[in-house]
Amino acid sequence: MFRFKQFTIHQDRCALKVGTDAVIFGAWVNYHDAKRILDIGTGTGVLALIAAQRNASAQVHAVEIDDDSAAQAAGNAAASPWADRIRVHRMDARRMKSDAHFDLILCNPPYYSGTAPATEERGRVAKHGAELAFEELLRCVRDSLAPAGRFAVIVPSDREAEFVALSAAQELFPARRCLLRYVAHRPPKRVLLELRRVRGACAEEELTVEGEGPKSFTPDARTLVADLIDR
């Protein structure tokens, strides 16, 4: 169980648990003016719940391929203050059809390409991209994103160039970029990206997560997540 200030995540049935990446990424995303939000590969439902908290009027849809994770995400949403605005769909995102496009799509995707596979099958699917490659994810986004919509994603720093090139092939271009360091003296491990359909200037940011104390955040990271967790 992971307790946020305004909601609780039960995760004993989920392939992947709530981690620092999801919390920081969810807090970083710009939810302003989005009326319809889609979370691809919702897992525990944490990003969908952060979206509903941060945007008081948006309708939030969450897609998850794993049966148990989808069921638990739906339960987490139902127990939250925003149950009437979150809908969890147990389905493969590649087969998703929607009559209305989304103003904001977010995804914490499977991206451990080239690393040792997870020993447990559900973890393999969730972590290693065997079921949803970057190319397939970007095609889903291209087909579902509104003309003026935003796509927010977190990727490993060593796969950023690959991801950006694949995004450009789908006519999605970075508009906002944040280098994410876990520790100040180490290279960035993740990159947070916001992409749009129109090529333009990209706002550059940097964030270090870990502070000096045990399990503490830096002041900037604490400010980012202040309405979500105590750290």
CA dist 44 and 41 (Å) reads 9
Q: Give the predicted TM-score (pTM) of the model.
A: 0.90
End-to-end CA distance of the chain: 17
pLDDT bin (cut points 50, 70, 90) of residue 131 is: low
On average, the pLDDT of the chain sits at 90
Of 50-59, 124-133, 160-169, minimum mean pLDDT range: 124-133
Structure-block tokens of residue 93? 């995102």
- The mean pLDDT of 193-208, rounded to a whole number, is 97
- 69 touches 43 (CB < 8 A): yes
Q: Is the pLDDT of residue 228 over 70?
A: yes
CB 2 within 8 A of CB 225: no
Residue 130 has pLDDT above 50, yes or no: no
* CATH pick for 2-225 out of 3.40.30.10, 3.40.190.150, 1.10.3720.10, 3.40.50.150: 3.40.50.150
